[in-house]
């Protein structure tokens, strides 16, 4: 939401020089990710650096400049604090004007139709394109600036002939070893026929910069529903995201990459174990998932075994995805008009 405001300042009756400070009030769990960024792959810190680029972040530090009446219009202070008490130790602080952002639930970017703006919108002439949002495009520009020390390379927003499968460690919300082996075999064969490479990556333990690079030019990313799919926001616009859902579980968070201008497909695993207490609850499995947290977690985190029908559906999704990508460009590069 902060990225949205900084990219659409005029929408909120402001101008670029009028925003002097951006203050994040972090709870204890979030703050530790900024205080000790290396312990958390620098993910939160890197994401905020991208959003705030080129301004620098200060954590639990109060620079004297925020109290000065004179203001350099080209510089903002980006502060991550554990509360407002730290800036009121010398007395009360009065904000000349304050804009309090909201919280985006189930998406990462705001649809262009949801706010007034004089900024140009993006249009793609291909058939059945995803929704292309201004904010996701400006976010990608910030990514390139952040990754390349202030310059945007000629390869920006260009897709490579790569399919990336985001793997998960452990058995929680994961594919069984046999299902994974068979799935990877099918995907490798399909990709090879199309001239694509097929890569399996795991983000655990990798710094944010490396995670971003792993998907930054990928034409297709596939993975099981979960936090790892947040990295889809770093993919090129119009690329393909394929989300695998455990038996009886679904969610809308990553549809089109959370409004990140991605083409989206979903694979719903067709078989699995039923919640043991389902009959006692006297409700359907779908209702149980919606109303009972323990039931939702049971289905969401189950080990997945793919059926023959699931593998057939994978093949169909991949065919649709390649047919879609053939419209985008050849060789693959995005053109937004």
Give pLDDT tens digits for 294-333: 999 999 999 999 999 999 999 999 999 999 999 986 444 4
- φ/ψ of 130, rounded to 5, equals -70, 165
Confidence band (pLDDT; 50, 70, 90) for 70?
Answer: low
Cα separation, 211 vs 310, in Å, equals: 28
Q: Which residues of 254-290 are buried (b: 16+ CB within 10 A; e: fewer)?
A: bbbbbbbbbbbbbbebeebeebeebeeeeeebeebbe
Give pLDDT tens digits for 172-231: 889 999 999 999 999 999 999 999 999 999 999 899 999 999 999 999 999 999 999 999
**Structural element, H or E, at residue 23:** strand 21-25
Confidence band (pLDDT; 50, 70, 90) for 15?
Answer: confident
pTM confidence score: 0.92
**Average pLDDT, rounded, for the chain:** 90
Higher-confidence residue of 334 and 259: namely 259
Contact 20, 77 (CB under 8 A): yes
DSSP helix/strand/coil, 40: helix
- Asked whether the predicted pLDDT for residue 335 surpasses 60, the reply is no
What is the per-residue pLDDT for 337? Answer: 38
- Asked whether the predicted pLDDT for residue 102 surpasses 70, the reply is yes
Cα separation, 117 vs 12, in Å, equals: 10
Question: Quick one: what percent of the chain has pLDDT higher than 90?
Answer: 64
Poorest-confidence range of 27-41, 91-105, 192-206, 219-233?
91-105
Give pLDDT tens digits for 153-171: 888 888 999 999 999 887 7
Contact 192, 228 (CB under 8 A): no
What is the per-residue pLDDT for 331? Answer: 41
């Amino acid at each position: 939401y902060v990225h949205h405001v900084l990219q659409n300042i005029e929408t909120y009756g402001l101008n670029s020089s009028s925003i002097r400070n951006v203050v994040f009030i972090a709870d204890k769990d979030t703050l530790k990710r900024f205080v000790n960024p290396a312990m958390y792959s620098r993910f939160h810190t890197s994401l905020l650096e991208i959003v705030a680029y080129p301004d620098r972040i200060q954590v639990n530090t109060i620079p004297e400049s925020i109290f000065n009446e004179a203001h350099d219009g080209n510089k903002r202070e980006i502060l991550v604090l554990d509360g407002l008490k730290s800036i009121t130790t010398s007395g009360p602080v009065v904000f000349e004007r304050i804009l309090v952002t909201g919280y985006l639930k189930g998406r990462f970017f705001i649809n262009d139709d949801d706010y007034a703006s004089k900024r140009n919108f993006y249009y793609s002439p291909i058939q059945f394109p995803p929704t292309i949002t201004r904010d996701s495009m400006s976010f990608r520009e910030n990514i390139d600036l952040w990754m390349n020390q202030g310059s945007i390379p000629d390869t920006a927003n260009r897709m490579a002939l790569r399919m990336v499968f985001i793997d998960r460690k452990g058995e929680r919300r994961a594919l069984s070893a046999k299902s994974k082996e068979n799935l990877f075999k099918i995907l490798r064969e399909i990709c090879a026929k199309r001239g694509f490479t097929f890569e399996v990556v795991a983000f655990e333990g990798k710094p944010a910069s490396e995670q971003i690079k792993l998907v930054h030019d990928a034409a297709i990313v596939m993975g099981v529903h979960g936090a790892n799919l947040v990295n889809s926001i770093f993919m090129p616009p119009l690329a393909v995201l394929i989300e695998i859902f455990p038996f009886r579980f679904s969610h809308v968070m990553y549809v089109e990459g959370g409004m990140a201008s991605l083409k989206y497909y979903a694979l719903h695993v067709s078989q699995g174990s039923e919640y043991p207490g389902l009959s006692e609850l006297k409700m359907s499995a779908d209702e149980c998932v919606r109303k009972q947290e323990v039931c939702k977690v049971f289905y969401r985190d189950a080990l997945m075994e793919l059926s023959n029908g699931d593998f057939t559906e994978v093949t169909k999704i991949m065919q649709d995805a390649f047919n879609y990508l053939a419209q985008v460009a050849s060789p693959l590069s995005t053109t937004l008009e």
